[in-house]
């Protein structure tokens, strides 16, 4: 039951993200390159998240748990890597871009970078650890 609740909640979050993306794209008249990049990263993240949700659904349908001790440990590890990536991306990416291109990000840009980079690292670490076994 707990697993089913998590699946429903995750599906609702994915649907809301997709809906937000839809409104964002329909409200934007001219799409710039950085917006295409942003949307692409979000779509990749949503796709990977949908794969994780589908995997949980597949297990629950077979009568197996949505998550077990290995998946919980993987979640913690991937969360740790995502956290480290968030810290580094908040400092390293704006500084590097500033030094190389002389472009300064504002607070909103940095928040978006932190969310996207940490999300990306979390999902990739999760999938890597999941298929590696440890």
Partner 1 sequence: MKTRIKELRARYNLTQEDLAKKVGVRRETILFIEKGNYNPSLQLAYNIAKALQTTINELFIFEDE
Residues that bind partner 1 (CB under 8 A): 59, 62-65, 67-71, 130, 132-134
Distance in Å, CB of 30 to partner 1, minimum: 46
Distance in Å, CB of 79 to partner 1, minimum: 19
Task: State the Cα–Cα distance between residues 105 and 28, nearest whole angstrom.
Answer: 21
Task: State the Cα–Cα distance between residues 115 and 58, nearest whole angstrom.
Answer: 28
Nearer to partner 1, 53 or 85 (CB): 53
Nearer to partner 1, 63 or 108 (CB): 63
Only one residue has tokens 């089913």, namely 4
Distance in Å, CB of 59 to partner 1, minimum: 6
Nearer to partner 1, 123 or 129 (CB): 129
Distance in Å, CB of 56 to partner 1, minimum: 9
Nearer to partner 1, 19 or 72 (CB): 72
Distance in Å, CB of 74 to partner 1, minimum: 10
DSSP state of 104: P
Using alpha carbons, list the distances in angstroms from residue 103 to 41, 92, 106. 21, 14, 10
Nearer to partner 1, 48 or 60 (CB): 60
Only one residue has tokens 């001790």, namely 69
Task: State the Cα–Cα distance between residues 87 and 89, nearest whole angstrom.
Answer: 6
CB 3 within 8 A of CB 60: yes
């Amino acid at each position: 039951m707990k697993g089913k609740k998590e699946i429903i909640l995750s599906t609702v979050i994915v649907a809301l993200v997709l809906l937000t993306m839809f409104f964002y794209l329909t409200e934007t008249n001219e799409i710039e390159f950085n917006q295409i990049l942003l949307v692409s990263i979000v779509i990749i993240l949503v796709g990977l998240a949908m794969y994780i949700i589908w995997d949980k659904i597949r297990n629950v349908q077979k009568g197996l748990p949505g998550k077990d001790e290995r998946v919980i440990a993987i979640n913690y590890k991937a969360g740790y890597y995502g956290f480290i990536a968030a810290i580094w991306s908040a400092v390293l990416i704006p500084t590097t871009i500033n030094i190389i291109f002389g472009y300064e990000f504002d607070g909103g840009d940095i928040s978006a970078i932190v969310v996207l980079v940490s999300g990306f690292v979390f999902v990739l670490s999760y999938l890597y650890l999941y298929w590696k076994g440890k």
